[in-house]
A and B are shown apart, each in its own frame.
Chain A
Amino acid sequence: MLVASSDDAIIGKDYQSVVTTWNPAAQRLYGYSAEEVVGRNISFLLPPDRLNELEAVLGRVAAGADAQHYETKRVHKDGSLIDVAMTVSPIRDLSGAIVGTSTIQRNITQRKKTETVAAEMAAIVDSSNDAIIGMTLGGLITTWNRGAEHIYGYTAEAMVGKNIVLLVPPGRPVEIDIIAGMLASNARTESFETQRLRQDGRLIDVSLTVSPIRDSDGVIVGASSVARDITEHNAMRAELTAAELRSVLAVSRAKDEMVSLVSHELRTPLASLLGFTELLYSREFSEVQRRQYLGVMLREGRRLTDLINDVLHIQRLEAGHQDLNLAPADLEALIQRAVNSAGADVLRPIQVRTSGRLPLAMIDTDSILQVLANFLTNARKYSPDGGDILVTTNLVGEMIAIDIQDGGLGLPADELPKLFGTFYRVESGDRRLIKGTGLGLAINRRIVEAHGGEVAVQSDGPGKGSRFQFTVPVAEPGPKVADVLIVEDDSGFGRLLQEQFVARGLTAMRAADAETAQRLLNEGMKPRAVISDLLLPGLQGEEFVARLGSESGPAVPVVVLTVKQLAPHELSALEKVGVTAVLPKEAGATQAAASLIADALAKETGC
């Protein structure tokens, strides 16, 4: 019998919606047997929120409508909701009057689930920025998402049904060939970079992943192609690589230039040294000639030494290894020291004009002394016809500016920016007899910049002299605080002393000259002890310690450390002005001096 053997549930109802027939498929669908339901109102199958549904459908059927098809939900005997597809048809009597309904019902729960998943998948595919294309094994496009529209420029309407080869530039792999290759070799899918052709004819770089599409039996029926546009990414990468390459090349070129320059500068004095050595060794010369050649050799040997020192110095500065020993310093005293070391030159006298009381500068005295010496040497060197050299100082905010002005050869404007470069030398006829390594100003710039200052140069042009300027920071205003004041011009020895005090739990500050030490005391520093050298660059140690008694108020221990062999009357003179001890500068002197002072201070606090 047809109804009994049907896969679909077939349920007959009378006009009152009472179940009259219930086939085996209905039992399979809802879990109830015919005995259980025949004679009951069908409403037991309806979910509570769909109770009105029956009436509405019956209404339409009564109004003469044909079979009603719809999808809805029903309640299984076990209480679970199932999706069903309904076809409701009227049952008429011989007169044509409707006496009931028959419904054919099919379980569509599984189909509904699949549909939901498929809809979600479609939404994901559609919203992806990647171009996702489905195709048959022959390459005919079956699906085309929005990402594909964006990346390739074609709409789905334009492309579905077209062949994928439209997108493939000559010589590039086609998706379906890749799939064929995968079938042959059983290989897995991997993404790879290739190119594709846009609608506008532009080639784009894509990262492509090709995968087979299988039907429910696992048979490969097509291919999917997922492409990501990496044109921009590749362009950025290419640009970055080019930039990296340029910077590597620039560094390597700079290094080559440096090596070439150093090599040239080293070979030139070596050529004279070795050449004359060989001549003196192989030939006889008069005493006058011999002395002349030896003089040249000595000069060139010294030049070579200077050059090596300068190159090493600049190397150290460039590597950032310059160990600045920053301490407050009296700049005027330091300038005077530099002028004194420059020596007398009647044709090129150096005048110093300072702007009254400058604050203490925060500098490494040895380094700044070298900067000053380099500028002063240059000023004289490039004034072959003589002329006054003027050094001036000015306070500019938190910096002190030092100017060195000469009336020498001067500089053309286009040379000024290059002047502080490594190995840079101005080439002009009036300078060719003036020797130099081209490193002095480069060293100056690095030292000054390491202090946080700046270098500058001005010239009104050739023959109008030059003016070099550099700036250094001022020390924090106000009294400095330290247990021990060390007055020592040798920075190495000063540092050793400082370490000895630190090891004994005391703080120490070094002044590189007596002038600085006096300034520190005048500004209110109250050290608990003073240790001083006697041989100092400006004001001598004897004079400094003699003034201590009157200037520092209550007496503090004062220790003198000196290499000087003092006569008895000199010793007694020191004792008279209140020096606690005089120690010779010899091995172990720093420990001895530090211990002496530490003991004295311990006793003091013990009282």
Chain B
Amino acid sequence: MARRAPAPPALTTVLIADDESAMRLLVNTTIESESYQVVEAGDGDEAWALIKKHRPALVLLDIQMPGRNGLEILASIKSDPSLSGVHVILMTARALESDRIAGLAAGADFYLTKPFSPLELLARVQESLGL
């Protein structure tokens, strides 16, 4: 797949934040691409540190994690002007409609309920990155 628009170098990172190693492996394998680098975080605090450090173009964010939870991180991203271009896709096993609405209302691009199709995840990632 060809890149339609070249992204600035600072935005070529995708962060996967999930406390389940199996999920990180699955997501990493699914979205693996030469178009961006992928970094992983295993809890909320590590995720926030990596977001501040890499200013990723996209964060694939689990909600229930030790430390800061996904919704808290999403709120922090949205209230930080230096992170205004960061896209967020929530990935969560919380399947209630109210969770979904809360996630989207907080500014997530998309909300994927586990289990989800890896092909759908890939499509959403490419959509968010404008690939």
Cα(A102)–Cα(B113), bound, Å:
115
| Contact across chains for B20 and A272 when beta carbons are under 8 A apart | yes
User: Which of A171-179, A274-282, A472-480, A596-604 lies at the interface with chain B?
Assistant: A274-282
Residues of A with C-beta under 8 A to B54? none
| Contact across chains for A429 and B66 when beta carbons are under 8 A apart | yes
Q: Mark A286-316, 1 if CB is under 8 A from B, else 0.
A: 0001001100100110000000000000000
A504 within 8 Å of B (CB atoms): no
Give the most central of B25, B66, B93, B94: most A CB within 10 Å: B93
Q: Mark B68-100, 1 if CB is under 8 A from A, else 0.
A: 000000000000000000000000011110000
CB < 8 Å neighbour of A272 from B22, B64, B94, B95:
B22
A155 within 8 Å of B (CB atoms): no
User: Which of B7-15, B102-110, B116-124 lies at the interface with chain A?
Assistant: B116-124
| Contact across chains for A427 and B26 when beta carbons are under 8 A apart | no
| Contact across chains for A428 and B26 when beta carbons are under 8 A apart | no
Q: Mark B40-71, 1 if CB is under 8 A from A, else 0.
A: 00110100000000000000000010110000
Cα(A267)–Cα(B96), bound, Å:
13
Residues of B with C-beta under 8 A to A270? 114-115
Residues of A with C-beta under 8 A to B115? 267, 270-271, 273-275
Return B42 CB to nearest CB of chain A, in Å.
6
- Chain B contact residue count (CB 8 A cutoff): 26
Given contacts A271-B114, A428-B66, contact A279 B26 (CB under 8 A): yes
| Contact across chains for A264 and B26 when beta carbons are under 8 A apart | no
Return A198 CB to nearest CB of chain B, in Å.
48
Residues of A with C-beta under 8 A to B37? none
Within 8 A of A (CB), among B1-45: 19-23, 25-26, 29-30, 42-43, 45
| Contact across chains for A278 and B66 when beta carbons are under 8 A apart | no
A572 within 8 Å of B (CB atoms): no
Residues of B with C-beta under 8 A to A293? 25, 29
Given contacts A264-B64, A268-B23, contact A279 B114 (CB under 8 A): no
| Contact across chains for B29 and A279 when beta carbons are under 8 A apart | yes
CB < 8 Å neighbour of B118 from A275, A289, A428, A433:
A275
Residues of A with C-beta under 8 A to B22? 269, 272, 296, 299-300
Residues of B with C-beta under 8 A to A276? 26
Q: Mark A412-433, 1 if CB is under 8 A from B, else 0.
A: 0000000000000001110111
Residues of B with C-beta under 8 A to A267? 93, 95, 113-115
Return A361 CB to nearest CB of chain B, in Å.
39
Tally of A-B residue pairs with Cβ under 8 A? 73
Residues of B with C-beta under 8 A to A265? 93
Q: Mark A245-287, 1 if CB is under 8 A from B, else 0.
A: 0000000000000001001110111111111101100100000
| Contact across chains for A282 and B119 when beta carbons are under 8 A apart | yes
Return A282 CB to nearest CB of chain B, in Å.
7
Cα(A267)–Cα(B19), bound, Å:
14
| Contact across chains for B23 and A271 when beta carbons are under 8 A apart | yes
Within 8 A of B (CB), among A504-540: none
Residues of A with C-beta under 8 A to B19? 432
Residues of B with C-beta under 8 A to A427? 66
Residues of B with C-beta under 8 A to A429? 43, 45, 66-67
| Contact across chains for A264 and B94 when beta carbons are under 8 A apart | yes
Chain A, Cβ-Cβ closest to B116 = A271
Cα(A303)–Cα(B23), bound, Å:
14
Residues of B with C-beta under 8 A to A431? 66
CB < 8 Å neighbour of A263 from B23, B26, B93, B119:
B93
Cα(A457)–Cα(B61), bound, Å:
35
Cα(A289)–Cα(B25), bound, Å:
11
Residues of A with C-beta under 8 A to B45? 429
Cα(A513)–Cα(B110), bound, Å:
58
Return B4 CB to nearest CB of chain A, in Å.
23
Cα(A260)–Cα(B64), bound, Å:
12
Cα(A571)–Cα(B120), bound, Å:
66
Which 9 pairs show the lowest CB-CB distances between chains A and B? Answer: A271-B114, A267-B93, A271-B115, A272-B22, A264-B93, A275-B26, A274-B115, A427-B66, A267-B114
- Interface residues of chain A, those whose CB is within 8 Å of chain B, are 260, 263-265, 267-276, 278-279, 282, 289, 292-293, 296, 299-300, 427-429, 431-433
- Interface residues of chain B, those whose CB is within 8 Å of chain A, are 19-23, 25-26, 29-30, 42-43, 45, 64, 66-67, 93-96, 113-119
8 CB < 8 A contacts A-B: A264-B94, A265-B93, A271-B116, A275-B117, A275-B118, A278-B117, A427-B66, A429-B67
> Assuming A267-B114, A275-B118, A282-B119, what are 4 further A-B pairs, CB within 8 angstroms?
A264-B64, A271-B23, A271-B116, A296-B26
